[in-house]
Amino acid sequence: MSDTRTHIFCCCCDGDERRRKRYEEYKKLMVEGKAEMEDNMQRMMAKTGAVFEGTGEETASSVQNANAMLEEDHPVYDPYGQLGYGFQAYFSSLQIFSWLFLLLTVLMLPAFFYYDRAAGLI
């Protein structure tokens, strides 16, 4: 009997898995880019006859950092930042309008009390 499951894609169910996969791909690309840069540097040094006169500690620490980057998971991220500037601008405008209407309400309270005394708001 074959398994005929239908996959339901929604913004809250599928997003975490896609985000994790994308993040893993980015980490791998960064490590590959670093290795490619190291290879290019070695070829350039061999071609020009340059001699590296360092202790190598900087390179060792960068390799350790690259390996730690593969193992490290970054749970702290900005979900609104991934959705783009329009989404952030929308919430920024919403916040501005909320404060504006709150301010207008406070400013109009004396008028509300004045009309209430004269039974104008019945």
Q: Read out DSSP for 23-62?
A: HHHHHHHHHHHHHHHHHHHHHHHHHHT----S-SHHHHHH
d(CA 37, CA 41): 6
- Residue 100: per-residue pLDDT: 97
CB-facing half-sphere around the CA of 49: CA atoms within 13 A: 0
Higher pLDDT, 105 or 54: 105
In tens, the pLDDT along 66-119 reads 666 555 555 566 666 667 778 888 888 999 999 999 999 999 999 888 888 877
Cβ 52 vs Cβ 45: under 8 Å: yes
Higher pLDDT, 28 or 10: 28
d(CA 38, CA 32): 10
